[in-house]
A = this chain, B = another copy of it.
């Protein structure tokens, strides 16, 4: 697998672009289109929130066909909690794009992110889709990534290449965060495309596995959105032989998809609302994978752990307290905690002022690793989170202003 520079992102057979259509009050981009020159296999993962945006409802129905060709995504308005009118607007959005791009309406998927409870400004959508369709470019991915941003500070892109079935295949994606970030899914939009030739069922299976290891392993604020979705198109332009179930090629494909999804997920955490630190929490020697991840996630979510990280304070008692209420089998007197390379806690007991000082130094870095050894089993899991800062409050107190 080769990790390419996402500055020069392009994938054979795809075009993309993003523009400002007037949905956002500012002059920032707010409408993106992703277009495959041929019909592609498609798979999707959607929010598990009972309250789903109109676009999620529409796409969940469409993705059953396993086929798609276009994604229209807007920021600034979530088209969630908008009832029947919202659903009609989502459908109309797809129809406009289908007309502009000469594809079937059912091959168009729509995605929205932004304020809940407001209706899409359809005249602006119509003009915007026409404009963006005319500008589509093989190298328009950064524009598209910018156009799906809300409180994100920078666009998120990733691209890898691999040899599969004798051909070079490319997998690339864009994503947006950056609040309401928590598994199942994180609040986010993520669109991945590949020129690989792969069946829709295998694509779905791979996407679910990648999601679990990437977007379902991050948290920013513990809130789950109404609009989360990840869509993955595979248009077969690479001309490779389809990888068979369980084949070496299918494993290579999975690894590439994992890499793109994880890169994007980590970018989402790094750009978490108000985040000043990127924190990896690894739990080792848990009884099983579910407990390993739950323990790590409980620590990653704790407001008190996250504020201590912001304060660069090695307050390990808060980590121990979070482990204690995680519901995971653990024993304080067997638990070790490391910050970076410093063993801060051994068998449940603090290792003194020197360790405390060393850990505090490690916490001054932009990237922090916390390792928790439960000594209860043999399974490990890692999750990624950020600190909780003044700016998270600032961004979210005034979000609709």
Q: Which residues of A contact B (CB under 8 A)?
A: 48-52, 78, 80-83, 115-118, 179-180, 184, 221-226, 301-304, 307-308, 310-311, 313, 315-318, 320-325, 330, 332-333, 345, 347-350, 388-390, 392-394, 396-401
Question: Is A349 a contact partner of B317 (Cβ separation < 8 A)?
Answer: no
**Known pairs A330-B50, A332-B51, A396-B303; A223 contacts B322 (CB<8 A):** yes
Measured in the bound complex, the distance between the Cα atoms of B243 and A16 in whole Å is 76
Question: Is A224 a contact partner of B325 (Cβ separation < 8 A)?
Answer: yes
Which of A81, A221, A225, A349 has the most B CB atoms < 10 Å from its CB?
Answer: A81
CB-CB < 8 A to A317: which residues of B? 78, 80-81, 115-117, 226
A388's closest neighbor in chain B, by CB? B393
CB-CB < 8 A to A308: which residues of B? 396-397, 399
Question: Is A349 a contact partner of B81 (Cβ separation < 8 A)?
Answer: yes
Question: Is B324 a contact partner of A226 (Cβ separation < 8 A)?
Answer: yes
A51's closest neighbor in chain B, by CB? B324
CB-CB < 8 A to A223: which residues of B? 302-304, 318, 321-322, 325
Minimum Cβ distance to chain B for residue A304 (Å): 5
Q: A49's contact among B78, B226, B321, B389, by CB below 8 Å, is which?
A: B321
Measured in the bound complex, the distance between the Cα atoms of B323 and A51 in whole Å is 8
CB-CB < 8 A to A116: which residues of B? 315-318, 320-321
Which of A115, A223, A388 has the most B CB atoms < 10 Å from its CB?
Answer: A223
Q: A389's contact among B82, B180, B225, B393, by CB below 8 Å, is which?
A: B393
Question: Is A311 a contact partner of B348 (Cβ separation < 8 A)?
Answer: no
Question: Is A393 a contact partner of B390 (Cβ separation < 8 A)?
Answer: yes
Question: Is B398 a contact partner of A311 (Cβ separation < 8 A)?
Answer: yes
Minimum Cβ distance to chain B for residue A254 (Å): 28
CB-CB < 8 A to A394: which residues of B? 390
Question: Is A49 a contact partner of B325 (Cβ separation < 8 A)?
Answer: yes
A227's closest neighbor in chain B, by CB? B321
CB-CB < 8 A to A333: which residues of B? 83
CB-CB < 8 A to A115: which residues of B? 315, 317
Question: Is B179 a contact partner of A304 (Cβ separation < 8 A)?
Answer: yes
**Known pairs A81-B350, A115-B317, A317-B81; A396 contacts B304 (CB<8 A):** yes
Measured in the bound complex, the distance between the Cα atoms of B398 and A303 in whole Å is 13
Question: Is A398 a contact partner of B51 (Cβ separation < 8 A)?
Answer: no
Question: Is B393 a contact partner of A349 (Cβ separation < 8 A)?
Answer: no
Question: Is B348 a contact partner of A313 (Cβ separation < 8 A)?
Answer: no
Q: What are the 3 A-B residue pairs with the smallest beta carbon separation, nearest first?
A: A116-B317, A311-B397, A51-B324
Minimum Cβ distance to chain B for residue A211 (Å): 17
